[in-house]
Amino acid sequence: GDSVTQMEGPVTLSEEAFLTINCTYTATGYPSLFWYVQYPGEGLQLLLKATKADDKGSNKGFEATYRKETTSFHLEKGSVQVSDSAVYFCALSEIQGGTSYGKLTFGQGTILTVHP
Amino acid sequence: DTEVTQTPKHLVMGMTNKKSLKCEQHMGHRAMYWYKQKAKKPPELMFVYSYEKLSINESVPSRFSPECPNSSLLNLHLHALQPEDSALYLCASSQIGGLTGELFFGEGSRLTVL
């Protein structure tokens, strides 16, 4: 079945440091890939997405590129802020025949803490 | 602002109580979902409704009873819960057969069972 593997956390950084959170996946079809973010005490928010190979999703200074050859979707940000402290989930949605099944497969999540 | 609205945001109930969680969306989505999430863990799928019919039940105990009265509303009825059922319950919606498979999540209802 489909699976998503995220780098183990937690990740602790100083403000303005560079962030990378690794994500790799296995899927039988051609999935869409997502990064969701969950701030303390809140629900899940879509951070960015990519639907085909070499697509780059970007939002709020975060970027991730859909790499089919390495089955990866690593999240990066050049300069993190204290307000970026949250839990980050990589996820995929199986797409077959051009349509989705509507089920998300999540990674285990990475806790990011940014200190001033 | 989220386009999936969940109420209540917080709920405390005893093991003998009956309560309900409510979810509403006005994006025209015909698939709606209930997820359960423990602290700092990924959400776990509970139920999926497609065109107001239950299409997936991930072997959820019968003390959780979902209901989809119309295409915009999704309820989760709770009865005789256990303390281990304390969690954040997330509602989500999506297009059916959409091109991207994106789910839109609400802010969640945080449930505490005493």
Residues 6+ apart with CB under 8 A from A41: none
Distance CA A64, CA B35 (A): 25
- Looking at this protein, which amino acid is placed at residue A62? F
Q: Using one digit for the tens of pLDDT, what is the confidence trace for A21-40?
A: 999 999 987 889 999 999 98
At A101 the pLDDT is 60
Would you state the structure tokens that stand for residue B49, as one six-digit string?
């409704």
Distance CA A116, CA A99 (A): 44
Would you state the structure tokens that stand for residue B70, as one six-digit string?
């119309």
Cis peptide before B66 (omega within 30 of 0): no
A106 and B43 within 8 Å at the Cβ level: the answer is: yes
- Find the CB nearest B98 among A99, A107, A111: A99
Distance from the Cα of B42 to chain A's closest Cα (Å) equals 6
Burial of B91 (0-12, 13-18, 19+ CB in 10 A): buried
Distance CA A10, CA A87 (A): 9
* pLDDT at position A78 over 80: yes
Residue among B46, B48, B35 at smallest CA distance from B88: B35
* Longest Cα–Cα distance in chain B: 43
Q: Using one digit for the tens of pLDDT, what is the confidence trace for A84-105?
A: 999 999 999 876 655 556 678 9
pLDDT per 10-residue tile (average), chain B, 114 residues = 86 92 94 93 93 91 96 96 96 82 92 95
Between residues A22 and A1, the one the model is more confident about:
A22
- Find the CB nearest A42 among B43, B95, B107: B107
Look up tokens 């050859």; give the residue: A69
Distance from the Cα of B34 to chain A's closest Cα (Å) equals 11
At A8 the pLDDT is 77
Q: Is A101 on the interface with B (CB under 8 A)?
A: yes
Look up tokens 């497609």; give the residue: B50
Distance CA A88, CA A38 (A): 6
**Weakest mean pLDDT among A4-8, A16-20, B10-14, B43-47:** A4-8
Q: Pick the residue of B103, B104, B110 with the most A CBs within 10 A to test the interface with A by mutation.
A: B103
Count other Cβ atoms within 10 Å, centred on residue A95.
20
Residues in chain B: 114
Provide the pairing of β-strand A110-115 with A11-14: parallel
At A61 the pLDDT is 97
Which residue in chain B has the smallest CA separation from A103? B101
- Find the CB nearest B40 among A32, A45, A111: A111
At A29 the pLDDT is 77
